[in-house]
Amino acid sequence: MHSAAYALEMPAERTSCVVFSSPHSGRNYLPGFLDRSVLNRNVIRSSEDAFVDQLFASASIHGAPLIAAQMPRAFLDLNRSAEELDPALILGARRQGHNPRVVSGLGVIPRVVSNGRAIYSGKLTMDEARLRIDTYWRPYHARLKSLLAESIDMFGQAILIDCHSMPHEAVAMAGNPKGRRPEIVLGDRFGASASGVIVDQIEAAFSCAGLTVARNTPFAGAYVTQTYGRPARHQHAIQIEIDRALYMNENTIEPNANFLAFRDILEEVIADIARIGSQPARLAAE
């Protein structure tokens, strides 16, 4: 199923309560958006979680839906609240307390891409911002909410896997206690967005595949995990960040020679995670 806001791959039979979501892999760069930007297409794409939707495409084979953004993150960020409007970019937007994401130019309508590079030379109108939110943000989140509600109705719980990729330099200086640089970072907002038992099982799935895993550093999760992670209501949200160097060339934004092999490894992980979601809610959370 495709709409202007998202692509949705549903399994032939839904056998898992897990829902996979890729909010930053959209690559529908509208001509009007590119014309308005002062950046070229390749630079704009630096903020995109390129190919993440392709890496998780096997989710439906293993009984779980995958919803993926159509629009790029530089155009609209689905991992932000619809109210995170940047007064430095949007005419008429009002500052609402101190929001580090908005201040840094990374609100729901981003002002910058990676390394603080400005997307526009001027400001956008409030009408432009609201049109993007109403056309793309609201339909995506409405469908995501319904997928999670369906999981709870069918299985007694929902597990949202929020799929992202991270620049290699973001983890270049990070390490785990054994001194190995993390290749995967799981974010559960330091235990607030998911059962620790479920996060343990997800970590084990990646570790068994030979990948080095860290938790919450340097990424603990943002709007999606904060909003949808409700463990007390049997709704869990875990952010997954994958080191881009594992599967792509960050300079050219193209798959590298390891892409297919890494995708195969990740399919095993996806299958393991989907199996977590096939357990009764009581057993999965204990």
The per-residue pLDDT for 176 is: 52
Q: Are 59 and 274 in contact (CB under 8 A)?
A: yes
Look at residue 284 and tell me whether its pLDDT is greater than 80: no
| Mean pLDDT, rounded, for 33-55 | 95
In this prediction, residue 272 carries a pLDDT of 97
Residue carrying the six token digits 């597990």: 159
Query: What mean pLDDT value characterizes the chain?
Result: 93
Radius of gyration of the chain (CA): 18
Is pLDDT at 182 greater than 90 in this prediction?
yes
Confidence of residue 285 (pLDDT cuts 50, 70, 90): very low
> Which pLDDT tens digit goes with each residue over 55-97?
999 999 999 999 999 999 999 999 999 999 999 999 999 887 7
Q: Does the pLDDT of residue 264 top 60, yes or no?
A: yes
Q: Does residue 179 have a pLDDT over 80?
A: no
pLDDT at 36: 93
Question: What confidence tens digit (pLDDT) does each residue in 119-152 have?
Answer: 999 999 999 999 999 999 999 999 999 999 999 9
Q: Is the pLDDT of residue 109 over 90?
A: yes
Q: How many residues does the chain have?
A: 286
Which residues lie closer than 8 Å to 64 by C-beta, 6 or more apart? 11, 14, 15, 16, 18, 19, 20, 270, 274, 277
pLDDT digits (tens, 9 = 90+) for 214-236: 999 999 999 999 999 999 999 99
Partners of 118 in beta bridges: 112
What would the two tokens of residue 105 be? 């130019």
* Stretch 140-165: mean pLDDT: 97
